[in-house]
Structure 1
Amino acid sequence: MPMFATRFVIAGAEEEVSPARRKVVETVQAWGVPLDDEVAHALRLVASELITNAVIHATGPVTIALHHRPGRLMLVVADHNPQAPVAGCAADGDESGRGLALVDHFAVRSGWKAFEHGKSVWAEIELPKPPPPVRASVLRRFFAGRARRETGPTPQALALSAA
């Protein structure tokens, strides 16, 4: 399976988080990556947390980048706030403060990197791998041959006569 990459920029408004999260999942699906419900949910949650944190804690545009290689997706969110992300310590009734803990739970790896005018926060998500192309071609030949046999001439009963 080939590798894919894309990026897009949002202005940094809170109402852009949901469409950006949806775009992340739809882009990965458009690449032909087989996402089951569990992986799609994890991807939505990680994208939502990283994008929301960038929108809330920074000002200005937010860049979302996706890098896919078979079995892995790297989601990178860059903003203009150079401060390190800080994991919250949420109490039971708190509605926020769990984002980075959730990202760490669903991501294989995650981290951040400062640059001159901001930072990028990234998470690597494990994705299902499609069956290898060799296997798919073997299955296609098997079923194509089977279909040809089923559409061939219908055998007729033979009558034997004794002389």
Structure 2
Amino acid sequence: MSTFVHRFVLAGTQEDVPFARHKVIDQVRKWGVSMDDETDDAIRLVASELITNAVVHGEGPVTVTLQHRPGHLVIDVLDGNSLAPQRGCAQADDESGRGLALVGVLASRCSWEPTRHGKRVWAEITLPMPVPAVRTSALRSMPDPDLAFRPTTATSATWIGPSGRVPCTRPSMPAAPRLLPAQAAMGRP
């Protein structure tokens, strides 16, 4: 299982945050991760909150590291302040103080750790797993699960669905195999 890593360094200013947010999403797309709107929004918000906290509460340059392996994305942000990140207790009309709480809700795991020159705050986001092409084509060829395929005679079959009986052009189903007495006693072929 391959792990892809991408790292970039920011000056640590507020103006860096929109650029970094777009850079994170662009990199995840370059890796070929298929994202629905919900996953895209979660990645964008988690990256934005972690980077904003590093810029506002950290010191010096900010290093952002992305690690992708199938089904998982880790957004890791390193800044020069060794103090633990603090969850705010935002009131309804406060404009800030909810970032780490949102990260905690959107990420499957998140934490922080002190480093020699500051701290590392990270969050892991669970990504949708791509459906293998073979499975996708097999699923497309399967009948609608809302329809039931029932043989009605030895030579014809009928689809029983929401709109009633519809003749089927499929060949008739083969007769069930005969069971030997020992197999019948065990309840299996």
The TM-score by the shorter chain falls in which range?
0.7 to 0.9
Where relative contact order (Cα < 8 A, 6+ residues apart) is larger, the structure is 1
Pick the structure with greater CA Rg: 2
Match of 1:69 in 2: 69
Deviation at 1:129, TM superposition (A): 1.0
Q: Deviations over 1:1-35 (max 9, x none)?
A: 74211110000010010010010011001100001
Match of 1:83 in 2: 83
The runs of 5 or more residues in structure 2 that have no matched partner are 142-189
Q: Give the TM-score of the pair, scaled to structure 2.
A: 0.70
Q: CA deviation at 1:118?
A: 0.1
**What do you get for the CA RMSD once the two structures are aligned?**
1.6
Following TM superposition, by how much is the alpha carbon of 1:58 offset from its aligned partner in structure 2, in angstroms? Answer: 1.4
Structure 1 letter corresponding to 2:90: A
Report how many aligned residue pairs link the two structures.
139
1:47-72 residue CA offsets vs partner (Å, 9 max, x unmatched): 00000000001121000000111100
Q: TM-score, normalised by structure 1?
A: 0.81
Per-residue deviation at 1:131?
1.6
1:101 aligns with 2:94: no
Unaligned runs of 5+ in 1: 143-163
Q: Matched residues, percent identical?
A: 57
| Structure 1 counterpart SS, 2:20 | helix
Would you tell me which structure has more helix in proportion to its own residues?
A: 1
Query: Does 2:109 align with 1:125?
Result: no
In structure 2, how many angstroms separate the alpha carbons of the residues matched to 1:3 and 1:58?
28
**How many Å separate the matches in 1 of 2:82 and 2:134?**
47
Match of 2:135 in 1: 135
Question: In the aligned structure 2, how far is the partner of 1:59 from the partner of 1:18?
Answer: 19
